Amino acid sequence: MIIKSISHTGNKKAARKLIKYIFDGRKSLEDPKGQQLIFKQHLRGYDKDKWAKQFEDLEANRKSHYGNKSVVAYHEVVSFSDLSTKHLTRSILKDLVGRYIKMRTNGQMFCAGAMHFEKNKNWHAHLVFSGIRMTNYKSSRISKKKLADIKSQLQNYQIKTYPFLEDSIVRHGLKKKN
């Protein structure tokens, strides 16, 4: 599986825009059985506008400011190979994406997201993480090394637990050959 992280700085409404993008219906939120798979952590209710307000309220408590350079939200995508789609089930997706959320946040950040189930394409989860921790209102930034460690640990778990997802194995940390 591939994990991409994009930081959004400055705009206090970044989380709102990302939540709108994830849930606006341009991409299919329903699996082949017509069910959605939504992820959330530390957010109350199921109203997307209320989730966005909770992200904004948290951001209002930020302890440190760096001009317009403070990361307000992280948009992260957990993506599986289209060749693995036939093997993916709700329980496998919940397990792998849920583990990623726990490893990435240590239970200290808001998270909202959903799976995009595109026909004949790879399935992927879009996740929005708060730019600060709920516990101390300080930056939730992690180093590239820590992110690489999380990717590696999650992939090792995937290989051990779901060996049939071999098409979604990525050589993390290695550059593409030209």
pLDDT in tens, 112-153: 999 999 887 889 999 999 999 999 998 889 999 999 999 999
pLDDT at position 175, please? 52
The arithmetic mean of pLDDT across residues 94-109, rounded, is 95
Helices (H), the chain: 14-23, 48-59, 90-105, 144-161
pLDDT at position 26, please? 80
pLDDT in tens, 149-172: 999 999 999 999 999 999 888 865
For residue 36, tell me if it sits in a domain.
Answer: yes
Q: Say how many domains are in the chain.
A: 1
Q: How confident is the model at residue 68 (pLDDT cuts 50, 70, 90)?
A: low
pLDDT at position 161, please? 96
For residue 174, tell me if it sits in a domain.
Answer: no
Output the domain CATH number for residue 163: 3.30.930.30
| Domain that includes residue 97, residue range | 2-168
Question: Phi/psi class of residue 107: alpha, beta or left (left: φ > 0; alpha: ψ in -120 to 50)?
Answer: left
| pLDDT value at 41 more than 70 | yes
Cβ pair 16, 52 in contact under 8 A: yes
For residue 176, tell me if it sits in a domain.
Answer: no
Q: List for the chain the helix, strand, coil content (%; round to 5).
A: 40, 20, 40
For residue 175, tell me if it sits in a domain.
Answer: no
User: What are the CA-CA distances from residue 37 to residues 55, 114, 149 (Å)?
Assistant: 21, 6, 26
Token pair 């939200």 in the structure block, residue: 73
For residue 173, tell me if it sits in a domain.
Answer: no
For residue 178, tell me if it sits in a domain.
Answer: no
pLDDT at position 25, please? 78
pLDDT at position 172, please? 57
